[in-house]
A and B are shown apart, each in its own frame.
Chain A
Amino acid sequence: QLQLQESGPGLVKPSETLSLTCTVSGGSMSSSSYYWGWIRQPPGKGLEWIGSICYSGSAYYSPSLKSRVTISVDTSKNQFSLNLNSVTAADTAVYYCARHPSRGCSGGTCYFYPFDYWGQGTLVTVSS
């Protein structure tokens, strides 16, 4: 059974960088069939996709966060990571990692299916 687990600091100061890691167990990340994504949820609010990456390192980001986000992958550790810089209180949220199958690529863009496996989420608070 595939499992995903987020880890990282629960408190980040404003203007600093939020860094989280997702560890995947019960399966290998090294497949072109899947993308691995980050989604966040501010307290009491809805879901916001941050970005996704495949094992080769090909990554896609939300247009609204693209200037501040980097997602990377380490297949040797079966992990992928999120860096979000210049954080403010508006970045306070539960951060989830999740898997979504790829439905192929065309014209330089890859397309995704829904998220089928999720981590439990980790709350990150931005505060001084």
Chain B
Amino acid sequence: DIVMTQSPDSLAVSLGERATINCKSSQSVLYSSNNRNYLAWYQQKPGQPPKLLINWASTRESGVPDRFSGSGSGTDFTLTISSLQAEDVAVYYCQQYYTTPPCTFGQGTKLEIK
């Protein structure tokens, strides 16, 4: 099974500043035949279910603000929030879908306001 490891576990960033969350997979999630990374990011606000933000490592879902961006390839990925807003306080999870089942998530990164 592919193990997903996020860093840091928690992060405090000032409003308007950049937030960066990392995700590392235990094996590559890049499918060579289509050059796509099978990596998704979710946002979970307190008391809510997770919400799919980004798939294919860098494609924002409809309605997701463009301050959210995903990057990386192979085994190393990054979720960046370019200018942190108060409503971005949440826990963020990465998930690989290169080999499913099983579906495996990172342990989560808690993002707070400094």
Interface residues of chain A, those whose CB is within 8 Å of chain B, are 37, 39, 46-49, 51-52, 60-63, 96, 98, 100, 103, 109, 111-116, 118-121
Contact = CB atoms under 8 A, between A and B. Distances in A.
Given A46-B108, A47-B105, A114 B97 contact: yes
Given A46-B108, A47-B93, A114-B97, A63 B50 contact: no
Given A111-B97, A113-B55, A114-B55, A49 B50 contact: no
Given A109-B101, A112-B100, 6 more contacts: A52-B101, A98-B49, A111-B100, A113-B97, A118-B50, A120-B49
Q: How large is the interface on B (under 10, 10 to 19, 20 to 34, 35 or more residues)?
A: 20 to 34
Interface in B75-114: 93, 95, 97, 99-108
Contacts of A121: 49
Nearest to A109: B101
The 4 closest A-B pairs by CB, nearest first: A118-B49, A114-B40, A49-B103, A60-B101
Contacts of A60: 101-102
A103 B108 CA distance: 25
A112 B95 CA distance: 12
A48 B105 CA distance: 7
Nearest to A119: B49
20 contacts: A37-B103, A46-B93, A46-B106, A46-B107, A46-B108, A49-B102, A51-B101, A98-B49, A103-B97, A112-B97, A112-B101, A113-B55, A113-B97, A114-B55, A114-B95, A114-B97, A115-B50, A115-B95, A118-B49, A120-B48
Nearest to B105: A47
A66 to B, nearest CB: 10
A112 B93 contact: no
B100 A115 contact: no
